[in-house]
Amino acid sequence: MLIRAGLECMRDAGVNRVLVLGDPAYYGRLGFRMETGVMPPFALPDAWRQAWQSLAIDDDRAKPRGRLILPAPWLRPSLWAP
């Protein structure tokens, strides 16, 4: 319920896509699918490839492409590697 409430808040704020790095089985239940258009800020290990996922909140907008840009605290490579 917490994730669904958060997604609703993001929808109300005009967010059109949410990206996560997480367990595909868990996030897949909520509609997240493997992301191929937006690259993570660092290369992910092959074993983590399916964990990079997104969910379209507003299907009327075009799917974004490119590389995700993050705030400085999230740019530590150790956060993106095993």
Residue 50 has pLDDT above 90, yes or no: yes
Q: How many domains does the chain have?
A: 1
Instruction: For 5-48, write each residue's pLDDT tens digit.
Output: 999 999 999 888 999 999 999 999 999 999 999 998 888 889 99
Q: Could you tell me the residue range of the domain that residue 45 belongs to?
A: 2-80
Pairing outcome for strands 52-56 and 17-21: antiparallel
Residue 63 has pLDDT above 90, yes or no: no
Please compute the mean of the pLDDT values over residues 71-78 and round it to a whole number: 84
Nearest alpha-carbon partner for 38 in 16, 58, 19, 10: 19
Residue 64 has pLDDT above 90, yes or no: no
